[in-house]
Amino acid sequence: MSGYPLDIGLATRTDPARVLEEMKRLAVEQLGTLPHNLAQGVEKTLQASAGGPSFEEQGALQLLRQHGASHVMRFRQQIASGFDEFRGPLSRTAGAELNLIDEQHLDLHLTGQRLAEMLEQRYQRPLEVMKQRLGSVSSALGTHVGPNPVAPARLVGAFISTYGDLELPAAFHGVMFRQYQLALGRVLDELYVRINATLATAGYGADVASRRTTPLPSSRPWNEQALEPPATRQPDPPLARSPGAEAAAEISMAAPVVSSRLAGELMSLRSQLHARRRQAAEIDTDAHRRAMQRRPLQSRDVLTIASVMQSEPPDTFARALAASGRLADVVRDQMLEGARRLGLGADGLRLGEQEEDAIDLVSMLFESLFRTHTLEDRARRVYGRLVLPYVKVALAGDALFVQPQHPARRLLDAVTEACEGNDAATPHDRELLERASAVSQRVVAEYNEDMAVFELAHAELEALLVQQRRRGEMQESRAAKATFGRERLAQARAMADAALDTHFAARPLTSAVAEFLSAPWRHHFVQTLLRDGDECERVQQIRALGHALVEVDALAEQARGRELADRLVALQPSIVLCLGSLGLDENAARHGVAMLVRDLATPDTERRRQAVTPLAGDEPANDDPKLWLAGGTATVPHDPGVAAVIRRLQPGEWLRMVDPQGEACSVKVAWVSPLTSRLLLVNRRGMRVLVAAPEELAAMVASGGVMLGGERTPFSEAMRQLRQRLDHAVGQH
């Protein structure tokens, strides 16, 4: 391998002062708008509260508005000064005055302390990594380690320094803290990732590597030397790596969350891959014998070849993704072609078992992503660019497959989220596709064993995906409200129709009474049910009016004029109210009453049995009218056990569904109806896919249209499909 080193030059650390300035820029840029957003959030919260803001709270809001610009400036200065203190912590003892703190300010500081402790716990891992990296920066500056300028305690302190002098109600301070907590959560997720990545790329954090004595199992390379005891193992040839690469690799391994379940599944997958190769060798023994006579390429040679070919156009891999099962063969062919181009002699070479594993796993992973997610053709070039970088990640170790928070794993999830179902129909969808393409090009251009590249690419794409998720949540909410509204309307109409059917079944009626009950009375009944519920007194009065009109019709038929007149006079206000619900003014409503009285005045008016006619538009629109059965139904053939499992699903759980075009897609349970127990299923963009009862979904499970047990992230779901594919392939032989 020594004859073919990777083309990476030895780099030095970036000037620490420049690194701190870049960190300051990021922090001020992302945190500096919080005061402005905070004031808006507080105002919306108080406006949405019962009764709206009190007089005292309105005054506090006015005070926030008046000093909004100064609050933004003061807060930004507080953030910036944290970096100055880090360079040289100022002494706080000389000349310090001890003052008593009033009760309000004491409560403010105690609340801030609780918020800081909660944020410290939430962001414990990235803060520990940042602390170690900032220690390296301090060493480079030749100063003592100062306080982390973006630590939660520092950010809470900046908040208190900005707003602590305002005379605000105690409850108002509580609302402000809650809004500040929400705003920080939205910013810190991205900010901490970007600051850690900036430090790693600049070369700070190598001291963490020196403190590590025992490498994690997931960080060992897949080669034969990794199996040798440490005492007898020969060191690898020195490989030039930038400090940023070392820092990113080591820090990304700092206290990594390695899933024992995923590690066990990976061992099983590799065993199945080996079994499949043995089966293929038994079928074609001559080809296997010739292949085994060739010299295996060393891991470092394979990495070099992949690095050289990484920047080439992705068309070959993009075309292979269109044909299931072809990608791994294409990658092998390209690697051997690369070996020939580098002068290694492809005719006498073969790939080792570990390299075969890495290529097979990555290829099947990418193919599974296309099989299990609705990825458009235009996304193939994005994924085609990423094939070789991910092969390199897999060659470096098994961390990609056993660490749920591995940067490359998170990036692939983000790219899939951006591309799934994205037909570029809207400007935002086009922007997402362009950003996904840009980050894939960034990985190709910059990745050379430095995991920070994946972190930065993920942070860049994640910033846009956050907006998409918020839009998706709004779409889910609108879809749930619309569905619930239709259900309530259908329920109210069903109750009104049942009551109307009771009246029609009682006796033959004149057309005037039948028309009144069918239109204004039924409409008024439905509107009152929707507005007040079925237990309210007004609904009972409307029911009573319906019964009374049937009795009035009977009095008219019997020519009992005086009783008829008395009843109609008593019923007139209720009748006018029903007619008014149709939008008639008082004169028109009284005219309608007169027409009703005129028809009832003649005893021999024709009377006949009436039938309830459904109103036009009673049936809600649905993509599949066969799947709209309110409340579920036992008439659909289904497995009761599967239906019981579906009833236990909660919002946020994922399923797999085959759309009408036969393509599988991920769907999420967004809402479960409290009226009918139907489930609202949406895609990753929050758009409604289906609304169906548990029994209907159980029938779809039996027909293969729905698969239970979908994974939450695209990477995990693709790995699950990969396992099933290997189970099937190995089990067939």
Three-state SS string over 464-523 comes to: HHHHHHHHHHHHHHHHHHHHHHHHHHHHHHHHHHHHHHHHHHHCCEEHHHHHHHHHHHHH
pLDDT value of position 347: 65
pLDDT for 640-693, tens place per residue?
Answer: 888 899 988 888 888 888 876 677 778 889 999 888 889 999 888 888 888 988
Mean per-residue pLDDT, 565-575: 82
Residue 691 to residues 18, 660, 668, 673, 695: CA-CA distances in angstroms? 55, 15, 11, 10, 12
pLDDT at 491: 87
Pick from 65-74, 327-336, 622-631: least confident: 622-631
Please say if the pLDDT value at position 618 is more than 50.
Answer: no
Residue 390: predicted pLDDT: 95
Q: Return the SS3 of 278.
A: helix
For residue 361, the model assigns a pLDDT of 93
Instruction: Check residue 411 and give its pLDDT.
Output: 94
pLDDT of residue 408: 93
- Residue 88, Ramachandran bin (φ over 0: left; ψ between -120 and 50: alpha; else beta): beta
pLDDT of 74 > 90? The answer is no
Q: For residue 655, list its beta bridge partners.
A: 667
Between 713 and 205, residue with greater pLDDT: 713
What's the average model confidence in pLDDT over 66-86? 83
Residue 345's pLDDT is what? Answer: 65
Residue 58 token pair: 């309105």
Is residue 313 over pLDDT 80?
Answer: yes
Nearest CA-CA partner of 680 in 475, 468, 476 = 476
**Rg from Cα positions in the chain:** 35
Q: Report the pLDDT value the prediction gives residue 464, as an integer from 0 to 100.
A: 86
The answer to whether 679 and 646 have CB atoms below 8 angstroms apart is yes
Task: Mention every residue, 6+ apart, whose C-beta is less than 8 A from residue 167.
Answer: none
Is the pLDDT score of 628 beyond 50?
no
Q: What is the pLDDT of residues 10-28, one digit of tens each?
A: 345 788 888 888 888 888 8
Is the pLDDT confidence value at 252 over 50? no
Rounded Cα distance between 111 and 350, Å, is 64
**pLDDT reading at 588 higher than 70:** yes
Confidence of residue 140 (pLDDT cuts 50, 70, 90): confident
Mean pLDDT of the chain: 77
Report pLDDT for 392: 93
- Per-residue pLDDT, averaged over 549-563, amounts to 83
Q: What is the pLDDT of residue 277?
A: 81
Model confidence at 29: pLDDT above 50: yes
What pLDDT score was predicted for residue 106? 65
* This prediction's pTM: 0.56
pLDDT tops 90 at residue 387: yes
pLDDT of residue 291: 64
DSSP-based three-state secondary structure for 655: strand
pLDDT of residue 346: 54
The β-bridge partners of 665 are 657
What number is the average pLDDT over the span 545-552? 86
Cα distances from 250 to residues 219, 253, 452, in angstroms, run: 9, 5, 10
* Among candidate residues 69, 88, 224, the one with its CA nearest the CA of residue 146: 88
For residues 514 and 512, what is the distance between their CA atoms, to the nearest angstrom?
A: 5
Residues 383-402, mean pLDDT to the nearest whole number:
92
Q: What is the pLDDT of residue 720?
A: 87
DSSP string, 86-144: HHSPPPSSTT-------HHHHHHHHHHHHHHHHHHHHTHHHHHHHHHHHHHHHHHHTS-
Higher pLDDT, 466 or 589: 466
State the average pLDDT over residues 580-592: 75
623 compared with 104, residue with greater pLDDT: 104
The pLDDT value given to residue 212: 38
Percentage, residues of the chain above pLDDT 70: 81
Q: Please tell me the predicted confidence (pLDDT) of residue 365.
A: 93
Instruction: Give me the pLDDT at residue 200, please.
Output: 83
Q: Is the pLDDT of residue 710 over 80?
A: no
Statement: residue 241 has pLDDT above 70: no
Q: Which of 52-66, 166-180, 414-428, 652-666 is modeled with the greatest confidence?
A: 414-428
> Mapping DSSP to helix (H, G, I), strand (E, B) and coil, where does residue 349 land?
strand
The band of 635, judged by pLDDT with boundaries at 50, 70 and 90, is low
| Mean pLDDT on 446-459 | 84
pLDDT at 5: 32
Query: Is residue 184 pLDDT above 70, yes or no?
Result: yes
The residues that bridge with 666 in the sheet, in sequence order, are 656
Please give the residue that has the higher pLDDT: either 551 or 41. Answer: 551
Highest mean pLDDT among 72-76, 386-390, 494-498: 386-390
Give, in order, the Cα–Cα distances in Å from 474 to each of 66, 471, 674.
Answer: 32, 5, 20
Q: Which of 25-29, 238-242, 294-298, 557-561 has the lowest mean pLDDT?
A: 238-242
Residue range 716-728, pLDDT digits in tens: 888 988 888 888 7
Supply the pLDDT for residue 437: 92
Task: Determine whether 269 is exposed, middle or buried from the number of CB atoms within 10 Å of its CB (0-12, 13-18, 19+).
Answer: buried
pLDDT in tens, 143-167: 887 889 999 999 988 888 887 777 6
